[in-house]
Amino acid sequence: MKIAVIGQSLFGQEVYSHLRKEGHEIVGVFTIPDKDGKADPLGELADLMEQHQEELATIEALDAGAVYTLALKTHVGMSIQTFRYFAGWCDKIQGSTIPINQARPNRNLTLTKKEPVGVCGIIIPWNYPLMMLSWKTAACLAAGNTVVIKPAQVTPLTALKFAELTLKAGIPKGVINILPGSGSLVGQRLADHPDVRKIGFTGSTEVGKHIMKSCALSNVKKVSLELGGKSPLIIFADCDLSKAVQMGMSSVFFNKGENCIAAGRLFVEDSIHDQFVRRVVEEVGKMKIGNPLNRDTDHGPQNHQAHLNKLREYCQRGVREGATLVCGGNQVPRPGFFFEPTVFTDVEDHMFIAKEESFGPIMVISRFADGDMDGVLSRANATEFGLASGVFTRDINKALYVSDKLAAGTVFVNTYNKTDVAAPFGGFKQSGFGKDLGEAALNEYLRVKTVTFEY
Ligand code: TAP
């Protein structure tokens, strides 16, 4: 295996000679920053991505059906920010000194060092192809590792363009490797590989469980999992209704619902329920469905045929089980994988659409009785997922109480979908563990060594 090492003084000569002895070829030793503190390859990569942002957004629109304007701002824009953010971390990864053996002070010194884990595998889904790649790869490289990335089979193109840009940014061949291919072949091989020390995975809970098992059985590799969700959004009657409607729309229809933190279920307090539904349906009627490359399009095609079929079946099941289909529910009669923005009401807790993620533009609304805060909280938490959640209220006490009680990795208060490169992102329960973004993400790609001296 050809290995290029990135990271300053983190891999010592001993490690290099060990790798060589094992028959690996070290093709480059890369330091961030270099000796005079100048080299900033991750920053340079971010600059290059910015120079190519229109091209990357166009590829994302063609490959994933992402609406171009959103792709430019979010898919590509946040990817650039992510590399800039983690570029700043490269020279700030530090250990600590720890007083030990306090019964006999001044005899011992313990210090910790944070080391890169080694070769990492990154396996990502198709909904935000470049952004998911960037969230994991930037943290992984800043921590000093090398990486093998497997994009989703249906959306490999921005990853390949990204590979080209990494070479232009001066990152040596071998540091970043892109291996498109099927999950069962390429992804599985990465999870099983004895020389891979960490898998960062985003995708379904089912595949995540399988990967975790493979990581354990192969070489007990480190693993972090960002999995599915069915995120509850609670809208209290004392909210700013216009904002709740606007953000409620975004919580479901952003990126045509192909959004892991999409609000999978909206709980609306009885006294504003009908008004909320009426205003949401009005807004849905204004959405412009069309060619994702057009600058005025709000809602593009779903990612691929199988997903479109799944959405159709999901809606049919909702209707069969007795939920009220207020609007949508069908494929749009035009070429392409277009699915109508859909709203269901009268959704009861036992129904399939109340429990399972659609990953599409389908709003699922349930009522709760006026004033029944604890009742709605227990319904919101009655799910095996725990990725995100939200609450709309003008009452600060209620907002704090509800955000304490919601069992999810992220709680949005009077907003939704507000992720930031500096804020840790990741789920609870069967939505996985480990964080992307923020300082917390670095630790997913580091190991701590404890060094103890006696003197
Ligand atoms: P998955 O089917 O789980 O696929 C995700 C990735 O895993 C793909 O690259 C896939 O390869 C690969 N894979 C499949 N089988 C594998 C195996 N045996 N070993 C290793 N890799 C394997 O998910 P999806 O359908 O692409 O994405 C939708 C799901 O992702 C939803 O449930 C959604 O909630 C979740 N998601 C979660 C988040 C976060 S942050 N929590 C973000 C986005 C999406 P292929 O190319 O063959 O499919």
Cα-to-centroid distance, 211 and ligand 1 (Å): 10
The pLDDT tens digits for 344-377 are 999 999 999 999 999 999 999 999 999 999 999 9
- pLDDT of 7 reads 44
Ligand 1: centre distance to CA 336 (Å): 23
Task: Tell me what pLDDT residue 21 has.
Answer: 72
Bond into 33 cis (ω within 30): yes
- Residue 306: phi and psi, rounded to 5, are -60, -35
Residue 168: pLDDT band with limits 50, 70, 90:
very high
Structural contact between residues 426 and 123, judged by C-beta atoms closer than 8 angstroms: no
**33 has pLDDT over 60:** no
Position in ligand 1 atom list of the atom nearest CA 206: 3
Total residues found in the chain within this entry = 455
HSE value, Cβ hemisphere, 13 Å, CA-based, for 252: 26
10 pLDDT higher than 50: no
Report the alpha-carbon angle 74-76-79, nearest 5. Answer: 90
d(CA 346, CA 369): 13
Closest residue to atom 34 of ligand 1, CA basis: 228
| Average pLDDT over every residue of 393-408 | 98
Tens of pLDDT, residue by residue over 186-202, are: 999 999 999 999 999 99
Mutation test residue for ligand 1: of 74, 82, 123, 179, the one with most atoms within 8 Å of CB: 123
| Ligand 1 touching residue 362 (CB < 6 A) | no
Residue nearest to ligand 1 atom 9, measured at CA: 152
The first and second tokens of residue 211, run together, are 């990967």
Q: What does the alpha-carbon distance between residue 436 and residue 443 come to, in Å, rounded to a whole number?
A: 10
Ligand 1 binding pocket includes 150 (Cβ within 6 Å) = yes
Ligand 1, from 63, 185, 202: best to mutate by most atoms within 8 Å of Cβ? Answer: 202
Q: Which pLDDT score is estimated for 103?
A: 83
Pick the CATH number of 231-420 from 3.30.390.30, 3.40.309.10, 3.30.420.40, 3.90.1300.10: 3.40.309.10
Least confident of 36-50, 153-167, 438-452: 36-50
Pick the residue whose CA is nearest to atom 30 on ligand 1. 203
Residue 18 binned pLDDT confidence (cut-offs 50, 70, 90): low
Ligand 1 contact via 430 beta carbon (within 6 Å) = no
Tokens of residue 423, six digits: 């804020």
124 Cα–ligand 1 center, Å: 6
- The answer to whether 41 and 16 are in contact (CB under 8 A) is no
Q: What average pLDDT is seen over the chain?
A: 93
Q: How far apart are CA 244 and CA 236, in angstroms?
A: 9
At 8, the pLDDT band (50, 70, 90 cuts) reads: very low
Residue 37 clears pLDDT 80, i.e. is over it = no
Rounded CA separation 328/319 (Å): 12
Q: 389 CA to middle of ligand 1, Å?
A: 21
Is the distance from the beta carbon of residue 218 to the nearest atom of ligand 1 less than 6 Å? no
Mean pLDDT of 94-122: 93
Ligand 1 pocket mutation pick from 207, 218, 231, 428 by most atoms within 8 angstroms of CB: 207
- For ligand 1, what atom is nearest to the CA of residue 128? 43
CB distance 210 to ligand 1 below 6 Å: yes
Query: How confident is the model over 210-239, as pLDDT tens digits?
Result: 999 999 999 999 999 999 999 999 999 999
Q: What is the pLDDT of residue 12?
A: 46
Task: Please work out whether the CB of residue 152 comes within 6 Å of at least one atom of ligand 1.
Answer: yes
For residue 203, the CA-to-ligand 1 centroid distance in Å is 3
Report whether pLDDT(5) > 80.
Answer: no
Beta-carbon contacts of residue 15 (< 8 Å; ≥ 6 apart) = none
Domain segments of the chain as ranges: 2-227+431-454, 231-420
Q: How confident is the model at residue 9 (pLDDT cuts 50, 70, 90)?
A: very low
Contacts of 172 (CB under 8 A, 6+ apart): 4, 6, 27, 28, 30
List, for residues 259-311, the tens digit of each pLDDT value. Answer: 999 999 999 999 999 999 999 999 999 999 999 999 999 999 999 999 999 99
Main-chain dihedrals φ then ψ at residue 36, nearest 5 degrees? -95, 20
Q: What is the predicted pLDDT for the residue at 118? A: 97
Residue 7 Cβ < 6 Å to ligand 1: no
Residue 41: which residues within 8 A CB-CB, separation 6 or more?
30, 32, 87, 169, 170, 171
Distance 202 CA to ligand 1 centre (A): 6
26, 20 in Cβ contact below 8 A?
yes
Q: Residue 14: pLDDT band by 50, 70, 90 thresholds? A: low
Active site residues: 150, 226, 260, 357
On the question of pLDDT at 27 being above 60, the answer is no
Nearest CA to ligand 1 atom 14: 183
pTM of the model: 0.91
Q: How far is CA 19 from CA 2, 4, 140, in A?
A: 10, 11, 20
Burial code (b: 16+ CB inside 10 Å, e: under 16) for 323-347 equals bebbebbeebeeebbbbbbbbbbeb
- The backbone torsions φ and ψ at residue 202, rounded to the nearest 5 degrees and listed phi first, read -125, 130
Residue 342 Cβ inside 6 Å of ligand 1? The answer reads no
Q: Of the candidates 389, 432, 384, which has an alpha carbon nearest to the alpha carbon of residue 408?
A: 389
Q: Is the CB of 260 under 6 A from ligand 1?
A: yes
Q: Cα 384 to chain center, whole Å?
A: 18
Q: Give the Å distance between the CA of 21 and the centre of ligand 1.
A: 36
Quote the ligand 1 centre to 46 CA distance (angstroms): 26
Q: Is residue 387's pLDDT more than 80?
A: yes
CATH topology of domain 2-227+431-454: Aldehyde Dehydrogenase; Chain A, domain 1 (3.40.605)
Instruction: Please give the pLDDT value at position 24.
Output: 67
